[in-house]
Amino acid sequence: MAPPLSNPIKTASGRTDGGRPGRAPGPPRRAVLASAAAIGAVGALGAAGCSRVPTGDTLARLKSQGTVRLGIAGEAPYGYINDKGDFTGEAVELAKIIFKRLGVGDVQPVATDFSSLIPGLKTQQFDVVSAGMYINKERCQQVIFSDPEYQMLDSFIVRKGNPMGLHSYADVVKKKAKFGTGTGYAEIAYAVDAGYKESDIVILQDPVAGLNAVEAGRIDVFGGTALTTRGVVKKSRKAEATDPFAPIVDGKKHVDGGGFTFRPSDTKLRDAFNVEIHKMKKSGELFRVLKRFGFTKAEMTTLTAKELCR
């Protein structure tokens, strides 16, 4: 599952358990995590306190109550708490714009662990997942997605000068590099597909932990999205990010795309959301929003959820 990355609790990115990732100056991470977890718990309790599971037209219900609850994973640049204690991120800011245009003025982020996003969506802890979650076949069997707001290639965090010459997962396997990535990241599957033994992968909490591990020599390489890696190494004197590359999946180059996540019954809400996001793509407004969080034009996409669900 940007730049400088501010206090993610931690994704694109794209994790296999459910997307993706960095962090810069701000409150101590544990304090932020505790705060976000508390907010998430309140959100969950609030949902449970409403007792009955909402049924019928979700968009009409959201308009009526004037509030939409967004599941986020505390991961910059998608959805996180900044150093001022405010919820922000490309997906959060995008949600604020689109839901306002759909007649829902109040956006209420609910922070949770990335692996809890889809389960939380299913159990009504929030109405929509706004975490830049990668769209893939496995997830499409559980939920439905908007068309992606971005596409993403991978990149590695390596020591300065890239002494082992690591530019692909095949290089990692061939050169027997010690490989690390984040919990549930899609990069786990990419490395395994290239021939890396899954039990040998070092699983780290987030890209900042990955950077620290590379700088300390505990691992040779940390795999993440190009957006995340270039953001997290900005101030490092010991590490750098490799050039972006497309991982090889089933013998073909693979490009990921991230979008908003909805319950399968909420096709009307998803379709209304898609109408607005396509307007923003056409006008260039989408790029202007995402640019603030480190996205480049190379990350803009015409891919559809249908294509990525195959």
pLDDT value for 3? 33
List, in order of start, the domains of the chain with CATH numbers: 58-151+256-309 (3.40.190.10), 154-253 (3.40.190.10)
pLDDT at residue 177 is higher than 60:
yes
Q: What is the pLDDT of residues 77-109, one digit of tens each?
A: 899 889 999 999 999 999 999 999 999 999 999
Structure-model confidence comparison of residues 136 and 54, the more confident one: 136
CB 145 within 8 A of CB 87: no
**pTM for the complete prediction?**
0.72
pLDDT value for 6? 33
pLDDT value for 53? 43
pLDDT band at 213 (very low <50, low <70, confident <90, very high): very high
Q: What is the pLDDT of residues 103-154, one digit of tens each?
A: 999 999 999 998 999 999 999 999 999 998 999 999 999 999 999 999 999 9
pLDDT value for 55? 54
Q: Give CA separation, 147 vs 12, 205, 267, 274, in Å.
A: 15, 28, 12, 6
Give the mean model confidence (pLDDT) for residues 293-299: 90
Task: Provide, rounded to the nearest whole percent, the portion of the chain with pLDDT above 70.
Answer: 82
CB 28 within 8 A of CB 6: no
pLDDT value for 51? 37
pLDDT value for 11? 41
